[in-house]
Amino acid sequence: MPSRGVIRTAIGSASAPVVRAVYGRLMAVAEDLAPTSLKTHRYLRLSLVLIVFTLLLSVALQSIVVSWEPLLFGWRPLSSISHAFYTPARDVFVGTLMAASIALLALSGRSRSTTLLDICAIFAPLIAIVPTGIADTRAVGEIPCPTASECIPTEYVGGAKAGIAVYTVVVVVVVVTMAVIRRHPRTRDTAGVAARGSARSATLVSIIALVTAGTVTVLAFSPALKDGFPFNLWPVGSIHFAATLLFFGVFAAVPILHAGGPVEPGETPPSPRQRAIYRWIAGLLIVDLVVLVAALLFRQVFGETPVVLIGEAVALALFAAFWWVQTFQRWDDPNAPSLIGRVSSRT
């Protein structure tokens, strides 16, 4: 399949209109000739950008629409993106996080980077399942809190516990299924060092998934602990907040790894400009997480300023920026990351 660089070189001497026409036609042909695995990984990466766009758009609309029926416009920004759970944007909020988790798992490979993405996929559903606490009832439609402290309304507790029950069962089923698949002769990786690295990665992700599922299950259903749910995770308190920090904290390491060069066999090396972008994304994301923690710990200091909303929006924008750069850096990668080990072991 011809790469974009080869195509540009072949038509470099033509006039501008001809260049655009020929380039467009050749790129269309190249896209048609791309193997299914390559197209799948291209669009999985790009879908993560579109998922973030969808979530931010829903929050923006919810901030300027005071009422959907009848339709009334105004300005009432949410305290945070997570507070969309208590608004008509709830379905979009939950759906985008679930879709992001599936896309991250589908990009599974054999590098440290993809191992971190698998770990991120473990925490993403919990951000959607367990809602954030209500600290400012005005921002979520005057939903009452039964106590003076941060809470989630009683009618939402049952939904969160049901979600955790389903989450735990799905985690166990996925871990067992993937273990069976890895041991099957047709899918077993026998490529020496690569196989051992893949096994260690899979074991690590499985352990983290099972520990996470077990922990939230105990917190939700244990007679001794369930009364404080979902603010009974020591020392952080909020399960939602812990899952959010873990998701973005783990993800922050991914652009750092990519800034150092290729992380997968056969990966298109990042250009100097792309490496610089990865470093900026990682640095800004770490700073943003520190700001988010400070905003939540000292929320009284910031008053009505939606610092958490801005911080979460920045974190999501950086997440999307990484996947935008990744999409085009690896547009012409010959093999999908999850297939490389098996291909190399049979050649």
- Name the pLDDT band for 336 (thresholds 50, 70, 90): low
CB neighbour class for 270 (10 Å; exposed up to 12, middle 13-18, buried from 19): buried
Q: Do residues 53 and 320 touch, judged by C-beta distance below 8 A?
A: yes
Please report the pLDDT score of residue 47 as a whole number: 95
- Name the pLDDT band for 334 (thresholds 50, 70, 90): low
Average pLDDT of the segment spanning 248-258: 94
Please report the pLDDT score of residue 236 as a whole number: 84
* Structure tokens given for 138: 């005005």
Q: Which of 77, 40, 129 is nearest to 337 (CA)?
A: 40
Q: Do residues 229 and 219 touch, judged by C-beta distance below 8 A?
A: yes
Please report the pLDDT score of residue 33 as a whole number: 47
Average pLDDT of the segment spanning 33-53: 85
- Name the pLDDT band for 341 (thresholds 50, 70, 90): very low
Please report the pLDDT score of residue 41 as a whole number: 84
Q: Do residues 253 and 276 touch, judged by C-beta distance below 8 A?
A: no
What's the pLDDT tens digit per position in 69-81?
888 999 888 888 9
- Name the pLDDT band for 4 (thresholds 50, 70, 90): low
Residue located via tokens 């919990």: 126
- Name the pLDDT band for 297 (thresholds 50, 70, 90): confident
Between CA 253 and CA 71, with CA 96 as vertex, the angle to 5 degrees is 135
What is the rounded CA–CA span in Å between residue 152 and residue 229? 9
SS3 content of the chain, % helix, strand, coil (to 5): 70, 5, 25
What's the pLDDT tens digit per position in 71-130?
899 988 888 899 999 999 999 999 999 999 999 998 876 678 889 999 999 999 999 999
What is the rounded CA–CA span in Å between residue 269 and residue 262? 5
Q: Do residues 310 and 82 touch, judged by C-beta distance below 8 A?
A: no
**Picking from 51-60, 98-107, 247-256, 291-300, which range would have the lowest pLDDT averaged per residue?**
291-300
What's the pLDDT tens digit per position in 131-152?
988 864 444 455 555 554 677 8
- Name the pLDDT band for 187 (thresholds 50, 70, 90): low
* Structure tokens given for 312: 């979460």
Q: Do residues 100 and 48 touch, judged by C-beta distance below 8 A?
A: yes
